[in-house]
Each structure stands twice: as C-alpha cells, then as structure tokens.
Amino acid sequence: MPGTSPRQSYRSSSFAAPLEKRTDMTTPPDTIVLVHGLWMTPRSWEGWVEHYTAKGFRVLTPGYPGFEIEVEALRENPDLIAKLTVPEVVDHLAAVIEGLDVPPIIMGHSFGGTLTQLLLARGLGAAGVVVDSAPTEGVRVTPLSQLKSLSAAFTSLSKRHGAVAFTPEQFHYAFTNTLSREESDKVYERYAIAAPGAWIWAYGLIANYKPGHQETWVDYGNDRAPLLFIAGGKDHIMPASVNRSNAKHYDKSPALTEYHEFPDRDHWTCAAPGWEAVADKALDWALEHAKAPAQA
C-alpha cells in the first residue's frame, strides 16, 4: 500500500528562534479541535478522532455552518456550500473554541489550515498544527501542480459564484495521487463534496493582487500560540513549497513556527496509509510546545 511508514525519514526546520520547552503548563490542553478543509467535511477526520480519543483527549470536529448534515446530503445541497463566507466560518469556529474552559490544540487540514491560522491570529488556542495548509494572504508560491489541481474552478466564470466539485479523475490528481485509482475512487465516494467557487477564485487566484487586506490576511509579525506546518512532498494541490513559504512569512513573529515535511505523502495524508505517523507528530509537537492558559 502507498504511504509513509512511521519510521520513514522526513525533513524538519524552524523559522523562528527556538523556544524552550514550556514547563509552566499547569493545565495542559485536554481538547483537540480538528478543522476540515474544502471538498471535505468533519467525516474526513474520523480516524484521528478515534486515535486521539483513545489517548484520552476530547476531540471536536466542528463543521462549517450548515455542515451538520452528512456528506450525501451536502452533495444534494450545493447552494448551501456556495453561499459560505470565510468570516462566518471563522466566527463559527471561534465560538466553539471560546466556549471551552481550557485553550485547545487546534489542527487544520488544507483550507482548514488557513482557518487555523486565522483562529490563532485571534489569540485562540494553546498550539496550532496545520497539515498541507492552504496559504494565507501574501504567499505567492503557485506551483504548476497546484494550478492544475484547482483548474476545475477556473474553467468558467460562472463557477466563481457556485459550488465546484472535482470529478473522480481530478480528485485523484489533486488529493490522492499516491493511491491507485481504485483506492482513490473509494475515498471520493465516501468523503468528497463540492467547495465554494468564490473561495477558490478569491483566495487561490486573486487574493494577492487585490488592493488592501483580504479575508485570509494575518499579521505575520504578531505573537500567537506556537504553530507547526506539516507538508507532504508529493502533495499536488497544496505542495510543500507553498507550506514552506507560508511558514517563512512568520519569520518576524516572536512566536514559535516550525516546518516538518513527510516527503512521500500526498494531500490525503490524514487518512492515507501511514496517517498515524502524521497524527502522532502533530500531537506530540503540540503538547511539547503548547502555551499555558495564562499566556494564551
């Protein structure tokens, strides 16, 4: 089976002065909040929920507003997807986190990584981990594989205001390129939905060319909870180069920012064979570097 085994080598680097391991954590995080990305729902985290729950954590997987229904129902309601906005999603997720007694660990995949960065920028969370993250504003690295992956949204201006779905073939290229087509089709059938076309146009195409700050802007120089970027060397839609660049944008922040790469993993890294190594890396790092509540 394709995938990265727990013992496979990786590349790791840091883009801020290393911080000492925090020893003042009187109440360590007891909750992990998992934020899904585009073309996905909370169902995509099902393996991680079981994995982290078995370790004694409370695990929350808040969906975007309206995503209380299942994958199959969302496929029948593309208008619900198309009308979503980033501010309402961030506010929705922030309300969940602000209702917790202890700042949680926040983890996000793909555009969920962008949302996680926006949540950390609000001062939320004890630590953040973004996996194969979509970029925040200002990241100008756009590899050809990313353009090809997102081309489904750019074939017609009409898709700018609708919900954009991948075909099984497009999904295999963008998400699951280390799997066989047969394996990919099974993933597609269980998990894939459409995504808001407006988001792909605004944040995947023109965000860096519009005047003023857009909705995915963060102040890269501000302090915040520690943040780890995890990338996959075979990711087509959010390549490692995009994540490295995003991490480097935080160079001037006093907060810890680190980057870790699994060279043989694709965008479906959170569920492809060997995903446990990714989940364990994310959790171990977050627990080591989590901010104490008094500092959050």
The closest of 276, 227, 286 to 105, measured between CA atoms, is 286
Q: pLDDT averaged over consecutive 10-residue blocks of the chain (296 residues)?
A: 32 38 62 98 98 99 96 95 96 98 98 98 98 94 88 65 92 98 99 93 64 83 98 98 97 97 99 99 98 55
| Proportion of the chain in helix, strand, coil states, percent, rounded to 5 | 40, 15, 45
Does a structural domain hold residue 60? yes
Our count of domains for the chain comes to 1
Contacts of 251 by beta carbon, 8 Å cutoff, 6+ apart: 15, 16, 220, 257
Does a structural domain hold residue 264? yes
Tokens 């169902």 — which residue?
43
- pLDDT per position as a tens digit, 128-147: 999 999 999 989 888 899 98
- The HSE-up count of residue 135 (CA atoms within 13 Å, CB side) is 29
CATH number for the domain that contains residue 174: 3.40.50.1820
Determine the Cα–Cα distance for residues 261 and 230; give it in Å rounded to an integer: 6
- In this structure, are residues 250 and 257 in contact, taking their beta carbons and an 8 Å threshold? yes
**pTM score of the predicted model:** 0.88
Which domain does 115 fall in, by range?
A: 11-295
Does a structural domain hold residue 150? yes
Burial of 250 (C-beta count, 10 Å sphere; 0-12/13-18/19+): buried
